[in-house]
Structure 1
Amino acid sequence: MSRTKRQKIDDDTSTVTTKFEHLPNELIVLCLSYLTFFELYESFFGLNQRLNQLLLSKPTIYIDSIPETQFLTHCFNLSHFLSQSQNGLLALRSYDENQFKLIMKDHLFKDKFSRLKSLTLNSIHADSIYDVIFNEEMKLYDILERLFLSEVSEEEEHGSAVNRLCNRLISSKMKSLNYLNMSFTPYRCGCENNIQSGRDKVDLEFKRKASTSHLETLIIGEIDGEKQTQISFRTLTDKLLPRLLKLKTLMIDSVHFEHEKHSYSQGVMKNKSVLTMNLKTVKVWIKRQDQRHKSVLEDFFIKSSSSDDLAVEIFCGDDENSFE
């Protein structure tokens, strides 16, 4: 190898970043996104001004897996951190119900979440979510703009908290909410082996008379996962959609036609007289045995929409290209 080529390789090698703090801000932020807030605070906060600024600018606070022996101390740290943060688009994510409830209901944080715009919750009971969002002291129902709910379930076998939560979320009570992504799992008892009790799906029900929601995007169900959330065609067209007149994007992982007694074609025409929607994108999954009703759904959305560029996709059974 010539001396010139060897020198070039040595020069290139010398420029390789070997220390974490030498990385550009974009890469550091990407690395930090894989850690919980507890891990970030304990490992990086207070090391230097640059890292402090990057942490304080993070839009999402991920509270989960905080060791019980350090939970109280960490609550004070979190409160102090939120007091310093200048981020106007604060987002909160939690997969731990007990820690979530303790933090959200503690007076230490009563005024800390006044800037909370986005909330992501996983595996938390519907009652707990309802109590936090519609708490009259925090009034998250006034400020939340985006809400992600995954694997939400009832706390009791014959509870009605899921439907109560859904009916309240999709109404004018949520004054700023424009994006809602929610999926549910059937009630499971706390016995050994987590044996499932009752039905294997969650049927969503909505009240006929309700105020109009401000939602622009609604996603119901685990679009790319197990289909455990469903809604009937009649409930969708007669009770849910009439309160979603501002909706632009709708995705539902399971609409079923079981136990429907009315004529579907008449139902479409009936709803045409009361619905004038602004939908742009519709993606709906139906059961393979309901495939004969595919055209009914398509016809309903086309006739109910005021948009000339509406895109409607109805998927049946195990269609591979579901909601990609």
Structure 2
Amino acid sequence: MARTKFDQLPNELVLNILGYLTSLDAWFAFHNLNTRLNNSLQNSSMKIDLSLCRRFQCDFTYRYILPRIQNPFAIRFCPRIMDESTYQFFIELKSNNVEYKLQVLTLTHITEQSMNIIAQHLNRLVNLRSLTIMHDHEEFYGKFINTFMNTNMPRLVYLTLGYTERSSSLYVYEGNLDRLRSTIPNIQNFILKVPISFNTFHRLLNVLPQLVSIEVHLTERSINEIKKNSYNRDFARNLQKLVMTINGIIRFKIIEQLLRALPHLHTFWLSTFICDNSYGTEYQDGKVWEGLIRKYLRNLIDFRLNVGLESTQSISPADIMQPFRSSFWIKEKQWCFVADRPENDVDTIELYSLPPPVNSKIIFRPNVQWVSNSSNPNFQSARMLGLLPTLDRSASRTARNRRYTNVTTLHTASVNNSNHDYDVSIVFDYVDLTKVRNCIISVSEFIESLSVMINLTSLTIRCYDGNIEYFKKISSPIYTLKKLFLSKSMHCYYYNRNDMKIITHLFPNLEYIELRISEFESLPILMNGLPHLVYAIIYNEPEVIDEEHLKQWLHKKEPIMKFMWSVDDKKLDIWFDG
């Protein structure tokens, strides 16, 4: 009977089941059903996720799944601290003779050591078409990118390079860019999530003229004059999609000169924040954009902006919106824009399109005036929201038609003024919190709303002190939460054994956690109270917890609790085995 029901399941569902089972459970689940499982593995194009799994799940994949793969497949892998696991990963691909079948590879939380191992094996993946490498920490000059440039991947079409955490002022050393001509000669889609200068970006387009799509993060650097003759007919001749984020101030005329040389562009997204109104007013000028698009970007069909510019007393959101009310925007292109003045710390006027650029955060404050060139702007198209508190609770009111009902990532800003407050009941009128999956909280008043977020999977607490008392505002356990980051607070709060009991009660299904502890006794409570925990990063001060003492304690507990670990003078990494 069980086999009959099992045979009715789609292949994709059968394979996905493996991600939720231990090796022992999988054995019983597929007992006497191995023929069906083998057929699924041999006839399907698999997507394997080893980014957050226990050791036995890796072993099960290596021993049972990889030997039976017959078709091109994709895999996501996260070596974390275990450099030997990175080496084993590539050895298993080779020993199971599936290197040539791997077409999509995603590597996250890469360290300098693991990157060196990866670079040695990438050349063997001769049929790889898509590669993503996200480094764990910022490096000077983007060292890991230079390491990657020494690999040869002739069939690679999609490439993403970046840092797991948001990078700041780091940039790529452009001296090695010419290597890309030979190492990735067929690359067409490039996402570079590492800040680079405009000159580096310009050179990159010259080195890779075959690019069809590129996403870059430009940083403010001294910009050498780009001569007009460098934008010849062959410059980026195949480029159709450009996604650009600017950190700092790059004069509009430089971007304008670039866009004039890209007549085949059909998609252009731009996000920037300018805290000096003496620069960059053209970025919010609808008349300037209209003239540029009409004359040089005639093939443009997808144009998105998210521009924050320091406001002045003489210009209002209505003034910004007026040029966007022309027939070009409303009738010909039918592109919708919104402008408001959220009165944030820098006091900017925010101009953004609907839909906004993907992964671009909309700055939003309830009960402030806004204007649009559309009678029915599609606020539902926004996915990431930077939520500011209401200015005056007594004046709080819901703005007509301004509901962000599909937000999945929510950032809350800290409160710097007594007149600013989070009225959670008012927030409910603007945002559908039941759809939020990723939440970053910087103010304690908002923590009580977590119980409403029934689909929340990732939570980061950045409150000033990060005190455990805030969690007592949560009315019931959050069973959907998988990742919890408690080490991002401005003030270092160290959790004790009593705090651990609260955390394990409120978030019983955690798979990943980062926090600070004040005593040894907190560790077993954490480990025993979270049965699904896969990975933990524990920060401690050397004067509070002695490193040698900690090593002895871990070595004593390891045979019983089944985990692998690494410790230094700043943190303890634990990867749970079973």
Consecutive unaligned residues of structure 1, counting only runs of 5 or more, are 1-18, 188-198, 222-228
2:128 alignment partner in structure 1: 144
How much does 1:149 deviate? 2.1
Aligned-partner SS, 1:91: strand
The structure-2 alpha-carbon separation of the partners of 1:62 and 1:276, relative to structure 1 and needing over 3 Å to count, comes to: closer
Between the aligned partners of 1:85 and 1:242, the Cα distance in structure 2 is 40
Between the aligned partners of 2:67 and 2:130, the Cα distance in structure 1 is 22
* Residues 227-266 of structure 1: pairs in structure 2 closer than 5 A: 229-238=194-203, 240-252=204-216, 254-260=217-223, 262-263=224-225
How much does 1:151 deviate? 4.2
Does the Cα contact within 8 Å between 2:109 and 2:134 map onto a contact in 1? yes
The structure-2 alpha-carbon separation of the partners of 1:62 and 1:31, relative to structure 1 and needing over 3 Å to count, comes to: closer
Aligned AA for 1:233?
Answer: F
Of residues 179, 187, 195, the one that matches 1:210 is 179
Aligned-partner SS, 1:209: helix
1:302 alignment partner in structure 2: 260
The structure-2 alpha-carbon separation of the partners of 1:313 and 1:64, relative to structure 1 and needing over 3 Å to count, comes to: closer
2:358 alignment partner in structure 1: 323
1:25 aligns with 2:4: no
The structure-2 alpha-carbon separation of the partners of 1:108 and 1:313, relative to structure 1 and needing over 3 Å to count, comes to: closer
Between the aligned partners of 1:285 and 1:123, the Cα distance in structure 2 is 23
1:142-196 C-alpha deviation (Å, 9 max, x unpaired) = 3211012234436xx6686323135346xxx210000012221579xxxxxxxxx
1:163 aligns with 2:145: yes
Aligned residues: 267
1:61 alignment partner in structure 2: 48
The structure-2 alpha-carbon separation of the partners of 1:244 and 1:52, relative to structure 1 and needing over 3 Å to count, comes to: same
Consecutive unaligned residues of structure 2, counting only runs of 5 or more, are 274-305, 308-351, 360-578
Aligned AA for 1:103?
Answer: F
Does the Cα contact within 8 Å between 1:177 and 1:215 map onto a contact in 2? yes
2:238 alignment partner in structure 1: 278
How much does 1:281 deviate? 0.8
How much does 1:209 deviate? 3.1
How much does 1:37 deviate? 9.1
* Higher deviation after alignment, 271-280 or 58-67: 58-67
2:558 alignment partner in structure 1: none
2:67 alignment partner in structure 1: 83
1:179 alignment partner in structure 2: 158
Between the aligned partners of 1:294 and 1:323, the Cα distance in structure 2 is 22
Q: CA RMSD in A?
A: 3.7
Between the aligned partners of 2:53 and 2:136, the Cα distance in structure 1 is 21
Does the Cα contact within 8 Å between 2:126 and 2:155 map onto a contact in 1? yes
The structure-2 alpha-carbon separation of the partners of 1:314 and 1:39, relative to structure 1 and needing over 3 Å to count, comes to: farther
The structure-2 alpha-carbon separation of the partners of 1:161 and 1:35, relative to structure 1 and needing over 3 Å to count, comes to: farther
Of residues 79, 92, 98, the one that matches 1:112 is 98
1:267-316 C-alpha deviation (Å, 9 max, x unpaired) = 051421372420011110113x42x623422431431x4x5354333222
1:312 alignment partner in structure 2: 268
Aligned AA for 2:62?
Answer: L
Between the aligned partners of 1:242 and 1:134, the Cα distance in structure 2 is 28
Query: TM-score normalized by structure 2?
Result: 0.40
The structure-2 alpha-carbon separation of the partners of 1:107 and 1:118, relative to structure 1 and needing over 3 Å to count, comes to: closer
Aligned-partner SS, 2:107: strand
Between the aligned partners of 2:31 and 2:140, the Cα distance in structure 1 is 49
* Higher deviation after alignment, 138-147 or 229-238: 138-147
Does the Cα contact within 8 Å between 1:29 and 1:54 map onto a contact in 2? yes
Indicate the structure whose relative CO is greater, using CA pairs within 8 Å and at least 6 residues apart.
1
1:13-58 C-alpha deviation (Å, 9 max, x unpaired) = xxxxxx9637541672585385489689556445413344334435
Aligned AA for 1:250?
Answer: I
